[in-house]
Amino acid sequence: MPRKIKIAPSILAADFLNLGREIEKIQNAGADMIHFDIMDAHFVPNLSLGVAMLEQIRNITTMYLDVHLMMDNPEKYLKTFADAGADGITIHLEIHPDPDAILDHIGHLGKDRGLSINPDMPVEKLAGKVKNVDRLLIMSVFPGFGGQSFIPESLGRLAQARALLDREGRAEAELQIDGGVSGKNAADIIRAGADCLVAGTGFFRADNPAAAVAAMRGQNA
C-alpha cells in the first residue's frame, strides 16, 4: 500500500490578525496537521510564536499540533508545550547531539518524539540516534524565516534519511521536510522518501488552499 502523504501547513505564514479563520482554512483544505514554529532569536535569528498562541489554537481545534522547537534549552520547556496542547514536539540535533534522554522525556509526556537536522548537518550524524524517534525532520532551508527557496540537495538528504530509518529499524517513523515546499517540488520530495510535507507560504499564499494541499499530495483537487 502506498504511504499516506501528510500535509502540515505552518502557521508562521498565516494572517495572525485572522488566526481563527486561518485555522479553519487549514481544516477545510484537508490538511493533516498544523505545524507550529517556535523561534528564540538565539538558535535562529528570529522570534516567532509563543505558548499562549498554541494554547488558544488548542482551544479551537482538535487537529494534530506539531511543534517545531528552534530554540536553545528546549528541555526546559517540554512540559510547557505539552501542557499547552502539542501532540508532537521536535527538537534539533544541533542542540542535543545525544538526543536519547530528551526524546524519552517527550515520550514520557505522551507526545510524539521528533528530531530535526539543519541543511548543513550530515545525515550520517543521525546514525544510532533515531531509535527513539517518531518523526525525523530534514530542514530544506536554514531555519529562521518562512518564504525561502528549497535547497535542492535536500532531496538526496531525504533519500539518505529514509535509508537510515529503514536500516535502523525505524521504517514506520514519519519523515518530514520543512522549508520551501510547494506543489511544484512536492512530487520530487515524495519520491525521495518524505511522507510529511510542511508548507508555510506554499499553503497560505495559495489562491486555493485545498487545491494546494491536493497538489502537494500529487492529486487533483
Which residues belong to the active site? 37, 178
Cβ nearer to ligand DX5, comparing 173 with 182? 182
CB neighbourhood size of 103 (10 A): 22
Q: How far is the CB of 150 from ligand DX5 (least distance, A)?
A: 8
What are the phi and psi torsion angles at 77 (to 5°)? -120, 5
Cα gap 143→88, rounded to integer Å = 19
Cell reading at 145: 524565516
Q: Is 22 a residue that touches Zn ion (CB under 5 A)?
A: no
Q: How far is the CB of 148 from ligand DX5 (least distance, A)?
A: 5
Exposed, middle or buried, 20 (CB in 10 Å: 0-12/13-18/19+)? exposed
Q: How far is the CB of 156 from Zn ion (least distance, A)?
A: 21
| 132 binding partner (options Zn ion, ligand DX5, none; Cβ < 5 to 8 Å by kind) | none
CA dihedral 48, 213, 56, 75 (to 10 degrees): -50
Q: Taken in order 92, 96, 100, 104, is the CA torsion positive or negative?
A: negative
**Residues engaged in binding ligand DX5 (CB under 6 A):** 10, 12-13, 35, 37, 68, 141, 143-148, 178-181, 198-202
Name the segment binding Zn ion (CB under 5 A); options: 14-22, 152-160, 177-185, 202-210: 177-185
Q: Is 66 a residue that touches Zn ion (CB under 5 A)?
A: no
Q: How far is the CB of 119 from Zn ion (least distance, A)?
A: 13
Cβ nearer to ligand DX5, comparing 132 with 201? 201
Q: How far is the CB of 141 from ligand DX5 (least distance, A)?
A: 6
Encode 164-197: b = buried (16+ Cβ within 10 Å), e = exposed: bbeebebeebbbbbbbbbbbebbeebbebbbbbb
Q: Is 68 a residue that touches Zn ion (CB under 5 A)?
A: yes
Cβ nearer to ligand DX5, comparing 131 with 184? 184
Cβ nearer to Zn ion, comparing 58 with 168? 58
Name the segment binding Zn ion (CB under 5 A); options: 54-62, 67-75, 95-103, 162-170: 67-75
CB neighbourhood size of 111 (10 A): 20
**In one letter, which amino acid is 193?**
G
Site of interaction with Zn ion (CB under 5 A): 37, 68, 178
